[in-house]
Structure 1
Amino acid sequence: MNTTTKNASTKRPSPARARLVDAATRLFYEEGIHAVGVDRVIEEAGVTRATLYKQFGGKENLVLAYLAGEDEMLRAMFTAAGETATDPDALLDAVVQGISTDIHERHTRGCPFINAAAEYPDAEGPVRRLIDEHREWFRGTLQSVAEGAGLADPADVAASLVLLRDAALVGGYLDGDDRVRPAFARTAQSVIEVHRPH
């Protein structure tokens, strides 16, 4: 019983840890990971240097926590869409709409995973491995959604939608989401329609 209580309490993040992750998420996404030093994160979070090192051991683990949080947020969005969509076609529409909304509301400076990958060229390093795991999950989830809707070649649909999302997130940052979001939605729908059984 004590072990259960102890495990439950260790799984709950401390307020200081949560503030560090929140500050890192905002700063790393807005300004770039390498451009933001740990001192800046510490100042924004209102904690001591010792607290950061106690919680994360160093900057790389804080970067991993930032990206893990982005991954969890996107997974939660897919879960919520799956719970509200009434049928497979509605889920497909919800996914396209969700990506479009994300470009406009949250990820206005490109994809956090693409941005991080540009700063971490070592494909075997822990940051890139986390990014690869996220992208495999995302691609696999889109493939499952396409399969559920009865689309032909669901792996091809998923690959196309991943490509379109990547382009839309970068394009939304560079060209403005008002120009990019309609093009993304239109192109994504055309991919879906081409793969519908006739």
Structure 2
Amino acid sequence: MSTTHASSLNHQRLIDAASALFFRDGINATGIAAVAEFAGVSKMTLYAHFASKDELIVAYLDQRNERWNAAVAQSLAAAELPADKLLALFDLHRQWLSDGGLRGCPYVNSAAEFPDRTHPVRLAVDRHKAGVKEHLLTLAQMAGLSEPQRLVRRLFLLLEGAFLTGALENDDSVFLVAKELAAELIAAAQPV
């Protein structure tokens, strides 16, 4: 195995380990040594890939965001009409909540652990949340819905609220209610 390939594998193993531990135990509760051990590498190897724990956290969040965007693209491709694509995002959020063991949103969890809005972790959280809003806005505009910005604020609140409530109540079926409310908002925003 080439040195470059081994380095790439170690880099990914570290992100995967961070992802598992940060999500399961919390970011501040998870030390660098635990991440390195979980990844099967030394702390020196970890620091060869990431200058700081903050850099590792941002890499974890950014890679999760890349996976999210790929899942969004796949989900949207399966729906035909823009309004149906908006509702498909509710199904996708529900799936990700369930797949995450109903442990909540890693971005909200990260924001709770890093209250400083200028911190690199919070900026990674903000990038992800802005991306979710951008998907909603693009779809609302494609559907020709009235007051798309206002609609996006409402749909985003439904998504976030359903994600948090689903985690708190250990019940992903709250997305069915959120999706039903979203359908009503979308129907009300249809051009006359």
The Cα shift of 1:128 comes to 1.1
CA distance in 2, matches of 1:72, 1:46: 24
Give TM-score scaled by structure 1 length.
0.87
**8 Å CA contact 1:123, 1:129 repeated in 2:** yes
d(CA) in 2 for partners of 1:31, 1:52 = 19
Matched, 1:171 2:165: yes
Q: Does 1:66 align with 2:68?
A: no
TM-score (norm 2): 0.90
Aligned position for 2:113 = 119
Quote the residue 2:135 is aligned against.
141
For residues 41 and 119 of structure 2, the distance between their equivalents in structure 1, rounded to whole angstroms, comes to 28
Q: CA deviation at 1:13?
A: 6.8
Alpha-carbon distance in 1 for matches of 2:33, 2:91 = 38
1:62-141 equivalences under 5 Å are: 62-106=56-100, 108-141=102-135
Structure 1, unmatched stretches of 5+, are 1-8
Supply the AA of the counterpart residue of 1:137.
G
Unaligned residue ranges in structure 2 (runs of 5+)? none
Residue type of the partner of 1:197? Answer: P
CA apart distance, 1:196:
1.6
Question: Are 2:35 and 1:41 aligned?
Answer: yes
Letter of the aligned partner of 2:32 in structure 1?
A: V
Give the structure 1 partner of residue 152 of structure 2: 158
Q: 1:178 and 1:57, CA in 2 relative to 1: closer, same or farther beyond 3 A?
A: closer
1:103·1:169 contact (CA, 8 Å) conserved in 2?
Answer: yes
Change in Cα spacing, 1:147 to 1:123, as seen in structure 2 (3 Å) is: same
Give every structure 1 segment of 4 or more consecutive aligned residues whose post-TM-superposition deviation is greater than 4 Å.
Answer: 9-13
Do 2:87 and 2:182's aligned partners in 1 also have CA atoms closer than 8 Å? Answer: no
> Aligned residues: percent identity?
35
Aligned length: 190
After TM superposition, give the deviation of residue 67 of structure 1 in Å: 0.5
RMSD (Å) for aligned C-alpha atoms: 2.1
